[in-house]
Structure 1
Amino acid sequence: MIKLSYLQEKLSSCCEIDSFSISMCSESERQALWDLLPECKSVIVLAHHIKHSIEWAWFPFEAERNNVTCAADLHLKTECEKITSVIKDNGYNSIIIPYPGRSGIRFKDLANKTGLGKIGDNFLFLHKEWGAWAHLRVIVSDGEISDKLPECKEVCYHCGICKTSCPAKVIKDDTLLGVECSQYQNKIDEEFGIQGSYTPKCEECARVCPIGETPEKITISK
């Protein structure tokens, strides 16, 4: 068994980690995780605090997320590699889960089971201190992790600002119109994409959220 506090010590100060038993997953989640690592017992979630908007600036790169990546993800994958190395040194196996498009597993749904935070009314994962400004990655392991974070019961203020501020009006009381959201994102990309070198994303629902400190927005000129 590995202590969570020991794993946290290995991470950069901008990152936080928590873990839970695979028994907390839904049947479909468990099967998808077992397909990646048979006999896995623990789900380990890492969150990186986005302090500068440039960290979430997506650019073309040979990567698992539709061949785009960002500085936050490159950094967090390095942090994940630190954790998998520690797990290996302790005699266990682990694997960094591919992005949802490859694995079929949504990181925010797994993070929602941790003490790091909860999914908010904007359908984003809200870290208990950083709000929406958290980038997520997930590891699974056949080892067990002890001394987990205290339970996080609520983060969202339910103020409704995200719903009224959404330019595409895709945030509803009980659902996010994901297809329409993606279409709006693509429209922004087509309008402001800088010769394919940068992929801008709408962050309005994150920026209006009162939880956490919102980094200064990147200004894009046509």
Structure 2
Amino acid sequence: MQQAIREFVLNLGVDDVGFARAGDYQNPKSYEIRQFLPEAESFIVLAFKVLSSCESPSWSVALNGYMDLGAYAREASYKTARFLENRFNAKVATVPLSYPFEVRHDRRGIADFSQRHAAIAAGLGTFGRHNLVVHPRFGTRVNFVSIITDLELEPSPKIEQDLCIHCNLCVNNCPVKALEQEGKTNVAKCLKNALPYSLGTDIAFWTEFGAASPEEQKELLRSERYGRLHQAAHIGNQYMCFNCVKSCPVGVTAGQ
């Protein structure tokens, strides 16, 4: 069964795949895995190499590279889930790269499910100094999606070797010093810089708009800021900083 799943996934063009038991998912900040599927016994993690276009100096080209990857990953996850249901009569819960996700004031900046911790548990890498996953072939230039299932699958061997070379380039190239404390990312600093057109910025804009004169309101609606906020509202999160990824030398050749 497991070999059939692996072959199906790789034949979709997915770059790597790993397996883990439900109990191997260990992330105290996100929800317990059985909240997504009460019958969960295992999960499968699909790895996708990031396109070289994601490191373009053009913000729009880089973002579109990640959006393309997200669409492709969502399709592969869906096809894999259908395969599990149709072939093995499995129950599944797919966990995508990004939104939608729950928005809670007591859990700001914390995902419902950690793809990073899932990937580590499934033998697809180790944590680097930047707190991202370092894959043995693709380095930091890799994204993951997960599929939780009630199938009992044999876990992939975990990687024991430290794949990070500890050059500290990610730390030194972080524009807001969000990686100063080893083993921890200052999420507030990171997201404020990486998501300049997020919900907080939107609230600030409309607060300013409400207090403005009619003429000032017209100017606000013609502004670049409003244009980007409007776009973000339609296409979702727009990350505008990938320095920690772009500065990492591990896996550069494989990632391009």
TM-score clears 0.5: yes
Distance 1:193 1:72 in 2: 26
Rate the CA distance shift 1:193–1:90 in 2: closer, same or farther, 3 A.
Answer: farther
Rate the CA distance shift 1:127–1:79 in 2: closer, same or farther, 3 A.
Answer: same
Q: Provide the secondary structure at the position in 2 that maps to 1:10.
A: helix
Aligned with residue 184 of structure 2, among 175, 191, 204: 175
User: AA paired with 2:37?
Assistant: L
Give 1:209 shift: 0.7
- Cα shift readout 1:7-39 (whole Å, capped 9, x = no counterpart): 222233342111111122348589632122112
- Is 1:115 the equivalent of 2:113? no
Distance 1:56 1:7 in 2: 32
- TM-score under structure 2 length normalisation: 0.69
Aligned with residue 77 of structure 2, among 64, 77, 80: 80
Give 1:204 shift: 1.0
- TM-score under structure 1 length normalisation: 0.78
- Cα shift readout 1:68-114 (whole Å, capped 9, x = no counterpart): x8111110111112211221121211110254733612111111212
Give 1:119 shift: 1.7
Aligned with residue 92 of structure 2, among 87, 94, 99: 94
| Greater per-residue helix proportion | 2
Q: Is the 8 Å Cα contact of residues 20 and 44 (structure 2) preserved in structure 1?
A: yes
CA RMSD of aligned residues (A): 3.1
- Is 1:203 the equivalent of 2:242? yes
User: AA paired with 2:187?
Assistant: G
Distance 2:240 2:30 in 1: 31
Give 1:193 shift: 7.5
User: AA paired with 2:53?
Assistant: S
Distance 1:185 1:27 in 2: 23
Distance 2:225 2:239 in 1: 7
Uncovered stretches (5+) of structure 2, i.e. residues with no partner: 55-60, 103-110, 202-223, 233-237
Rate the CA distance shift 1:126–1:206 in 2: closer, same or farther, 3 A.
Answer: same
Q: Provide the secondary structure at the position in 2 that maps to 1:70.
A: helix
- Is 1:51 the equivalent of 2:70? no
Deviates more, 1:41-50 or 1:7-16: 7-16
Runs of 4+ in structure 1 off by over 4 angstroms are 27-31
- Is 1:150 the equivalent of 2:182? no
Distance 1:177 1:27 in 2: 17
Task: Name the count of aligned residue pairs.
Answer: 204
Uncovered stretches (5+) of structure 1, i.e. residues with no partner: 60-68, 217-222
Q: Is the 8 Å Cα contact of residues 18 and 115 (structure 1) preserved in structure 2?
A: yes
- Is 1:162 the equivalent of 2:162? no
User: AA paired with 1:72?
Assistant: L
Say which one has the larger Rg.
2
Q: Provide the secondary structure at the position in 1 that maps to 2:43.
A: strand
Give 1:150 shift: 3.2
Rate the CA distance shift 1:22–1:162 in 2: closer, same or farther, 3 A.
Answer: same
Distance 1:27 1:116 in 2: 16
Distance 1:114 1:33 in 2: 14
Distance 1:176 1:57 in 2: 22
- Is 1:186 the equivalent of 2:192? no
Aligned match of 1:219: none
- Is 1:7 the equivalent of 2:13? no
